[in-house]
Amino acid sequence: MTGGIRGPGGRVRRARRALLTRLATRCLVTAMALPQTLLGLLEPAPRHGYDLKREYDARFGEQRPVKSAQVYATLGRLLRDGDITVVGTERVDGPDRTSYALSAEGVTHLERWLAEPEPSTAHLQSEVYVKVVLALRSGRPAEQILDAQRDAHLGVMRGLTARKRGADLPTTLACDFTLFHLEADLRWIEHTAARLHRLAEELS
């Protein structure tokens, strides 16, 4: 069963784009909870939802886009939970805009979140490892799984490296974060590929 791993070129390209999106989201901003992020953006001064969405997009939107509806729904929950308060309403060339400010409770929650280290997460390789084990146990070519993953990673890395050229520092650091994770993945792939025969024996 060797035909379904790589697939046609179009499928591989689509898989690479999907992987880039998934890795950027998972590696860069998985832990960036939207409620806490909005609390942090509100801390300097009261703001209305439109301004918050605009600043979020400028600072984090490229890595983790959110819809306006998500921002307003999150603000509603923060208001309900007492983390923010309404400080005014104004109309500027359109509908009323409600301004929000951080409450004392919101400051406490924000500080707690900022001080807490993020938990380690099972990275992509846990999924690849499961595929390798299942392939070996069923007599399928596990080498093709590793080869396909290597090719996908290298494609993503080339894209990120190209994206860094001429980029500003925040974008460069964000790309580097993902690149370093991908480099570790590649080391694991090579390490595992060199031990497939032994792994197959121990699984049998």
State the CATH class of domain 34-115: mainly alpha
Total residues found in the chain within this entry: 204
Spatial separation of the C-alpha atoms in residues 134 and 140, rounded to whole Å: 8
What pLDDT score does 16 carry? 56
Q: Which residues are CB-contacts of 62 (< 8 A; sequence separation ≥ 6)?
A: 171, 174
Domain ranges in the chain? 9-30+121-203, 34-115
Spatial separation of the C-alpha atoms in residues 16 and 10, rounded to whole Å: 10
Task: Give the three-class secondary structure for 3.
Answer: coil
List alpha helices for the chain, DSSP H: 9-23, 29, 34-42, 49-56, 68-81, 104-115, 125-138, 142-164, 169-193, 196-203
Give 58-98 pLDDT, tens digit per residue: 877 766 788 999 999 999 999 999 999 999 988 777 778 89
In this prediction, residues 178-196 reach a mean pLDDT of 94
Cα dihedral 196, 200, 203, 204 in deg (nearest 10):
180
Spatial separation of the C-alpha atoms in residues 142 and 200, rounded to whole Å: 10
Band the pLDDT of 31: cuts 50, 70, 90. very low
pLDDT > 90 fraction of the chain, expressed in percent and rounded:
49
Neighbours of 9 (CB within 10 A): 8
The model's pTM: 0.62
Spatial separation of the C-alpha atoms in residues 82 and 109, rounded to whole Å: 11
Spatial separation of the C-alpha atoms in residues 32 and 105, rounded to whole Å: 19
CA of residue 125 relative to chain centroid, distance: 15
Query: What pairs with residue 90 in β-bridges?
Result: 97
In this prediction, residues 14-21 reach a mean pLDDT of 55
* φ, ψ (nearest 5 deg) of residue 120: -65, 140
Spatial separation of the C-alpha atoms in residues 204 and 194, rounded to whole Å: 18
